[in-house]
Amino acid sequence: MTHTERGGTTVPEDAQANSAVVASAPRVVLVGPPGAGKSTIGRRIASALNLPIVDSDLLIEQAHGKACGEIFSELGEERFRELEAECVAQALATGGVVSLGGGAVLTPSTRQLLQRHTVVWIDVTVEEGIRRTAGSTSRPVLQADDPAQHYRDLLATREPFYREVANYRVRTDSRPPQRVVAEVLSIIDSTEE
């Protein structure tokens, strides 16, 4: 997908073509790495629009009665991604604001489903992402002997997929959440014109 820069936001040249979705579809889908702020930004956007927030990680936890970290540790990444893909498909069939887990874009079926939606890549620099996730015990995908290097490797793997699915890219580092929310709300407004 082709992107151009606009302030702190990257805008695709074909954004209008990708904004036509069915009425029951989410107004916006947020993707991005761990620690970027997807859940925080998603909740604030949903509140501003008076819409529900659907967090794919919470759907997984509700469906399986355990925290995502436990499921990931017990079943392994491959099985976790299968369960995640099912919950993502469910989330994308609802209205509101959808926030996806950081690794959801690794699954081809999820990337295919995202083609029909307005997707905003909530991004953060490697350094800030490392700072925000340091010491996290709820994210087993980040557990490693060298968490900083592991985070860099994780981003190197996922960034091409975020770039593939996103219509827009918004950075959160060194920016207050309300400014990021205002930017995403502006994106939503522009796709609905």
Mind listing the pLDDT tens digit of every residue in the chain (193 residues)?
544 344 454 444 444 333 333 447 899 999 999 989 999 999 999 999 999 999 999 999 999 999 888 898 899 989 999 999 999 999 999 889 999 999 999 999 999 999 999 999 999 998 888 888 776 655 555 566 777 888 899 999 999 999 999 999 999 998 999 999 999 999 999 887 6
| Annotated binding-site residue numbers | 35-40, 57, 81, 102, 139, 158, 175
Domains in the chain with CATH codes? 3-191 (3.40.50.300)
User: Over the Cα atoms of the chain, what is R_g?
Assistant: 16
Can you give the pTM of this predicted structure?
Answer: 0.83
| Annotated binding-site residue numbers for ATP | 35-40, 139, 175
| Annotated binding-site residue numbers for Mg(2+) | 39
> Interhelix angle for 177-191 vs 38-49, to 10°?
60
Q: What order do you get walking across the sheet with 3-6 strand by strand?
A: 3-6, 9-12, 168-171, 119-123, 28-31, 97-99, 53-55
Token pair of 70 as six digits: 């436990």
Rounded Cα distance between 101 and 176, Å, is: 22
